[in-house]
C-alpha cells in the first residue's frame, strides 16, 4: 500500500475522530466525577444493605448526612449503609449518573431529589417511583407535616417522597447598619422596598440590590411573582389555571424588571455567596436568597441583627415559599425492606433532628426539638407551621426540569433584551410545551 | 511492491479491531444521535416516536439558538484571527535572529499546556467586571496606571461580551501559531529573500509578496485546527462566564437542554448541527490534503 495514501487515510480517520473525542472532553466535570458507575463493590445478595444515593458530599450537608447515618446504624445495626454520594454542581452530575444507572436497570435503594415536580416530572412520569402513602399512614407523618405541603409533593393523591429538610426561598437579607444609618425602615411592601432603594441610591449607593448568576435572578423572579400575585394565584401559575400571558403576570414582571435596575452590573460573574457578601460588606443593602444564606453568614462569623437581618420578601409575609431535599423509593429497589427502614428514619423526629441543625435547615415535621436550632431557624420553624405554603420554581418544587429549563432560557433572553412582551409569550409557550397549560388561554389541564 | 497474501491478512487483522470499534462507537453513535434527533424523546426514558425534522425546525426559529450562532461566528472570527495575527507577528520578530529565542518560544508555547478550564479560571479573575470600590483584576491595573478609559465590563458587556472570551483563547493558542509560523519561516530559503533584497525590494514587499504567500499552507492548517476548536468551545466559556445566555454557544445549549431539561431529541439535533458545522470546515481540508499528496 502506498505510504502516502496510508498517511492520508490515517489523517482522515483522525480528523473525523477528533471532533468526537473533543466533544466528549467538553463535559470533563461529569466524566471525572463519576467515581463508580456501578456503585461500591457489591456485597453478597443476601446481605442486608441499603445503598443511598445523594449529592451531599461537602460542608454541612455531608456532616448532616453523616449524623443521620450514625442514627441509622444505631437503630438498624444489621443493615449495612452504603453512602453513594456523587459530588459536584448542585446535583447536576449526580442526576446524570443516576439516569445512567436507571437506564441500565441498576437503581440505588433510595436517592435524594428536590421534593415536588423535579422528582415527579422526571421519575414518576417514567414509572420509576413507588408511592409512599403507606409509610405516611403507618408513621403518622400526615399529622406532623403541614397539610398544604402534601399536595405539593404528590401526584394524583399519591405521595412520592419523604422530605428530610425544609428551606425557605422568599427571604430578604439586609444590612441593618446601613438601614439604620439612613433611617430606612425594613420594607414590608414592594413600594416600601423601592422607596428604600431610591433613598439609598440618592445617598450614593449605586446598586442597593445584590444579585448573582442567572439562577439567583430566577430565584428573585419567583419571589416577586409570589409577592405580586399572592399565594393563591401563584399556585395557579403551576397548575396552568393562571394565564402566563395575562395582565397579572405582566404587572409582576414589570416590577421584577424595575428591580433589576437596582442590581449590580457584574451580577452574571458572581456566585450566590459573592452576592450575599455584598450585603454584609456594605456594598449593597439587600439580597433575596434562600435561607442557606444564613448558614453561610454564620460560617463567616457574622452576628444576626448586627451584620445581617432578615424579613420575608416584601409582600410575601405569611407565605412560606419552600424547597426540600427528600428521599424516594424506586420501584425496582434491590433491597426494598432496608430502603423502607432508611425512609422511616429520614422521616422520623430523631433522623430530622440529627440532620437539620448540622445542615442549617429546618425539619419538615412540626414536633422537632426547638432547642437544637438557632434563632433564625426557630423563626423559620414558626413560619413553617403557621404560614401558607407554596413551592419554589428555581429549586424544583413547582415545575418539572423541562419546564424549568424553558423558563430559564426565556429569562436569559429577557435579561439580554429586556422585552417583557416577548418574555411573557415565551413563558406562555414554555407552559404549553412542558407544563400543564393547553392551547387556548389559561385552561386547566387536569 | 507486491504484498503477499499472508502479509495482507496480517495487516487486516491488525486494523480490524480499531475499524470495528470506530464503526460502532463513532459512526454507530453518530447514526444513533441522528435517529434521536428525529425523535420526540423528552424525559428519562427513550421515546423514538418519529418527529421528522421538527427539532431542527424548532432550533432555526429559536432566538437562543440564533444567539448561539452569532456568538460562535464572533468568537471564531476573533479567536482565529487574533491567534493567527499575533502568532505571525511574534514569529516574524523571533525570526530576526533574536538572542534567547528558545526562551521566548517556550514562554509563548507554555499556555498551550494548560487546559481551557485553568485558563478560564485565571482569566475570570483578571477580567473581573466589578465596578466602583470593588474594582479588581485588569480593571484595577488600568485604574492604577491612570488608564481609566480602558476599564470595561469584559464578558458581561451586552452583545459583544463573547469577544472577551476570545482573549484568553488567543492568549492560550497564539503560541501554537508562533510555532507553526516559525517552522514555515525557517523553511523559506534565504537565497530567495536575499535575491529579492538585491533586486531592491523593500522589507514590506519581501513579506507581502514572498513570505506570506509561501506561508499560506501554514495559515490554512492553523485555521482549520483553531477553527474546529472554536466551533466546539464549551469549557472556556463555562469557566469564565458560567451559564448565561449572552455567552451561550451550541455546545452549552446542547448540554443544558439535554441533561438539565431532558429534551434528548432537541439536544441530539444541536449535536448533529455541531458535527455538520465542523465537517463543513474539515472535509474541504481533507480533500485538499489528499489532492496535495497525490500530486506530490
Same domain for A274 and A207: yes
pLDDT digits (tens, 9 = 90+) for B142-165: 999 999 999 999 998 888 899 999
Q: What is the pLDDT of residue A23?
A: 41
Same domain for A162 and A55: yes
| pLDDT tier, B281 (very low <50, low <70, confident <90, very high otherwise) | confident
Give the residue-averaged pLDDT of A33-56: 63
Partners of residue A26 in chain B, C-beta under 8 Å: 232, 234-235, 251, 255
Q: How far apart are CA B257 and CA A289, in angstroms?
A: 25
Give which of A409, A415, A425 to mutate to test B binding, by max B Cβ within 10 Å: A409
Q: What are residue A52's DSSP bridge partners?
A: A83, A110
Partners of residue B256 in chain A, C-beta under 8 Å: 405, 408
Same domain for A192 and A58: no
pLDDT digits (tens, 9 = 90+) for A125-145: 989 999 999 999 999 999 999
Give the residue-averaged pLDDT of A381-392: 96
Report how many domains make up chain A: 2
User: CB-CB: which of A1, A28, A413 is closest to B117?
Assistant: A28
Same domain for A297 and A215: yes
User: Bigger pLDDT: A278 or B290?
Assistant: A278
Say whether pLDDT at B218 is over 90: yes
- CATH number assigned to the domain comprising residue A301: 3.40.190.10
pLDDT digits (tens, 9 = 90+) for A151-172: 999 999 999 999 999 999 999 9
Same domain for A275 and A204: yes
Domains and CATH numbers, chain B: 57-295 (1.10.3720.10)
Residue A85 in any domain: the answer is yes
Residue A267 is given by DSSP the state G
3-state secondary structure of A426: helix
Domain limits for position A293:
171-321+397-434
pLDDT digits (tens, 9 = 90+) for A102-113: 888 889 999 999
Mean pLDDT of the residues in chain A: 88
Same domain for A404 and A380: no
Q: Name the strand (E) or helix (H) holding A274.
A: helix A272-281
**How far out from the chain centre does Cα A245 lie?**
25
Residue A11 in any domain: the answer is no
Write the DSSP assignment of A170-196 as a string of letters. -EEEE-HHHHHHTT-PPP-SHHHHHHH
Of B8, B178, B18, B10, the residue nearest B85 (C-alpha): B178
The interface predicted TM-score (ipTM) is 0.87
Residue A72 in any domain: the answer is yes
Give which of B9, B43, B157, B272 to mutate to test A binding, by max A Cβ within 10 Å: B43
H runs (alpha helix) in A36-186 = 59-75, 92-103, 117-119, 133-139, 141-144, 176-181
Same domain for A401 and A284: yes
Chain A residue with minimum CA distance to B128? A269
Same domain for A128 and A85: yes
Q: State which of A346, A361, A385 marks the end of a domain.
A: A385
Give the residue-averaged pLDDT of A323-349: 94
Q: What is the pLDDT of residue A88?
A: 63
| pLDDT tier, B266 (very low <50, low <70, confident <90, very high otherwise) | very high
Residue A18 in any domain: the answer is no
Give the residue-averaged pLDDT of B217-233: 92
Q: How far apart are CA A364 and CA A367, in angstroms?
A: 9
Q: How far apart are CA B120 and CA B117, in angstroms?
A: 5
Same domain for A269 and A188: yes
Q: What is the pLDDT of residue B2?
A: 61
Same domain for A154 and A56: yes
Q: How far apart are CA A363 and CA A356, in angstroms?
A: 6
Give the residue-averaged pLDDT of B42-69: 93
Same domain for A107 and A178: no
A424 to A234, A244, A421, B197, B253: CA distances (angstroms): 15, 6, 5, 68, 21
Residue A243 in any domain: the answer is yes
Residue A157 in any domain: the answer is yes
Residue A186 in any domain: the answer is yes
Q: What is the pLDDT of residue B48?
A: 94
Residue A420 in any domain: the answer is yes
Q: Do B235 and A7 touch (CB under 8 A)?
A: no
Q: Name the strand (E) or helix (H) holding A320.
A: strand A319-323
Same domain for A177 and A91: no
Return the C-alpha torsion angle A279, A283, A285, A287, nearest 10. -50
A359 to A101, A288, A423, B49, B230: CA distances (angstroms): 28, 20, 37, 44, 42
Three cell numbers, residue A145:
407535616
Amino acid at each position: 500500500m502506498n505510504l502516502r495514501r496510508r498517511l492520508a487515510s490515517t489523517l482522515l480517520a483522525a480528523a473525523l475522530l477528533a471532533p468526537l473525542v473533543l466533544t466528549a472532553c467538553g463535559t470533563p466535570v461529569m466524566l471525572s466525577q463519576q467515581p463508580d458507575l456501578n456503585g461500591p463493590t457489591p456485597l453478597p445478595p443476601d446481605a442486608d444493605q441499603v445503598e443511598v444515593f445523594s449529592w451531599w458530599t461537602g460542608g454541612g450537608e455531608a456532616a448532616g448526612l453523616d449524623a443521620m447515618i450514625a442514627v441509622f446504624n444505631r437503630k438498624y445495626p444489621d443493615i449495612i449503609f452504603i453512602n453513594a454520594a456523587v459530588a459536584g454542581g448542585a446535583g447536576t452530575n449526580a442526576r446524570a449518573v443516576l439516569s445512567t444507572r436507571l437506564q441500565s436497570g441498576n437503581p440505588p435503594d433510595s436517592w435524594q431529589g428536590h421534593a415536588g415536580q423535579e422528582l415527579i416530572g422526571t421519575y414518576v412520569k417514567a414509572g420509576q417511583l413507588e408511592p409512599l402513602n403507606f409509610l405516611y399512614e403507618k408513621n403518622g407523618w400526615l399529622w406532623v407535616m403541614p397539610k398544604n405541603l402534601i399536595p405539593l409533593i404528590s401526584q394524583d393523591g399519591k405521595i412520592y417522597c419523604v422530605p428530610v429538610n425544609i428551606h425557605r426561598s422568599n427571604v430578604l437579607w439586609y444590612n441593618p447598619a446601613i438601614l439604620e444609618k439612613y433611617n430606612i425602615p425594613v420594607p414590608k411592601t414592594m413600594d416600601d422596598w423601592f422607596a428604600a432603594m431610591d433613598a439609598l441610591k440618592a445617598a450614593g449607593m449605586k446598586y442597593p440590590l445584590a444579585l448573582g448568576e442567572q439562577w439567583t435572578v430566577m430565584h428573585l423572579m419567583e419571589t416577586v411573582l409570589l409577592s405580586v400575585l399572592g399565594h393563591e394565584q401563584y399556585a395557579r401559575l403551576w397548575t396552568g389555571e393562571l394565564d402566563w400571558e395575562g395582565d397579572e403576570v405582566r404587572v409582576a414582571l414589570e416590577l421584577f424588571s424595575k428591580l433589576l435596575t437596582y442590581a449590580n452590573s457584574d451580577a452574571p460573574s458572581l456566585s450566590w455567596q459573592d452576592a450575599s457578601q455584598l450585603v454584609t460588606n456594605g456594598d449593597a443593602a439587600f439580597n433575596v436568597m434562600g435561607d442557606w444564606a444564613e448558614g453561610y453568614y454564620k460560617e463567616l462569623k457574622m452576628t444576626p441583627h448586627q451584620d445581617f437581618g432578615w424579613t420575608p420578601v416584601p409582600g410575601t409575609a405569611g407565605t412560606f415559599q419552600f424547597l426540600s431535599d427528600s428521599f424516594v423509593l424506586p420501584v425496582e429497589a434491590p433491597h426494598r425492606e432496608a430502603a423502607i427502614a432508611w425512609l422511616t428514619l429520614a422521616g422520623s423526629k430523631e433522623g430530622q433532628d440529627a440532620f437539620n441543625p448540622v445542615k442549617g435547615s429546618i425539619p419538615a415535621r412540626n414536633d422537632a426539638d426547638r432547642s437544637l436550632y438557632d434563632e433564625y431557624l426557630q423563626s423559620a420553624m414558626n413560619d413553617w407551621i403557621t404560614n401558607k405554603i407554596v413551592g419554589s420554581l428555581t429549586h424544583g418544587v413547582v415545575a418539572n426540569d423541562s419546564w424549568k429549563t424553558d423558563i430559564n432560557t426565556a429569562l436569559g433572553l429577557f435579561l439580554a433584551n429586556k422585552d417583557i412582551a416577548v418574555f411573557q409569550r415565551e413563558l406562555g409557550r414554555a407552559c404549553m410545551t412542558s407544563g400543564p397549560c393547553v392551547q387556548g388561554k389559561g385552561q386547566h389541564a387536569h | 511492491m507486491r504484498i503477499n497474501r499472508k502479509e495482507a491478512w496480517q495487516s487486516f487483522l491488525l486494523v480490524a479491531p480499531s475499524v470495528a470499534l470506530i464503526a460502532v462507537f463513532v459512526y454507530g453513535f453518530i447514526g444513533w444521535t441522528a435517529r434521536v434527533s428525529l425523535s420526540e424523546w423528552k424525559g428519562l426514558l427513550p421515546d423514538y416516536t418519529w418527529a421528522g425534522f421538527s427539532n431542527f425546525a424548532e432550533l432555526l426559529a429559536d432566538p437562543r439558538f440564533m444567539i448561539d450562532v452569532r456568538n460562535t461566528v464572533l468568537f471564531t472570527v476573533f479567536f482565529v484571527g487574533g491567534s493567527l495575527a499575533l502568532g505571525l507577528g511574534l514569529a516574524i520578530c523571533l525570526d530576526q535572529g533574536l538572542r534567547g529565542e528558545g526562551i521566548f518560544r517556550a514562554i509563548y508555547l507554555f499556555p498551550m499546556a494548560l487546559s481551557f478550564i485553568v485558563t478560564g479560571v485565571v482569566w475570570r479573575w483578571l477580567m473581573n467586571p466589578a465596578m466602583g470600590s470593588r474594582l479588581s483584576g485588569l480593571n484595577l491595573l488600568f485604574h492604577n496606571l491612570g488608564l481609566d478609559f480602558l476599564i470595561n465590563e469584559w464578558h458581561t458587556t451586552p452583545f459583544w461580551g463573547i469577544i472577551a472570551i476570545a482573549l484568553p483563547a488567543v492568549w492560550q493558542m497564539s503560541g501554537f501559531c508562533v510555532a507553526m509560523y516559525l517552522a514555515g519561516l525557517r523553511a523559506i530559503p534565504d537565497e530567495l529573500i536575499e535575491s529579492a533584497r538585491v533586486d531592491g525590494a523593500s522589507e514590506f514587499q519581501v513579506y507581502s509578496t514572498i513570505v506570506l504567500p509561501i506561508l499560506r499552507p501554514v495559515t490554512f492548517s492553523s485555521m482549520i485546527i483553531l477553527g474546529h476548536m472554536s466551533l466546539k468551545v464549551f469549557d472556556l466559556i463555562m469557566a469564565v462566564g458560567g451559564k448565561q445566555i449572552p455567552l451561550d454557544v451550541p455546545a452549552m445549549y446542547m448540554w443544558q437542554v439535554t441533561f438539565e431539561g431532558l429534551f434528548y431529541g432537541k439536544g441530539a439535533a444541536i449535536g448533529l448541527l455541531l458535527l455538520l458545522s465542523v465537517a463543513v470546515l474539515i472535509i474541504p481540508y481533507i480533500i485538499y490534503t489528499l489532492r496535495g499528496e497525490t500530486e506530490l
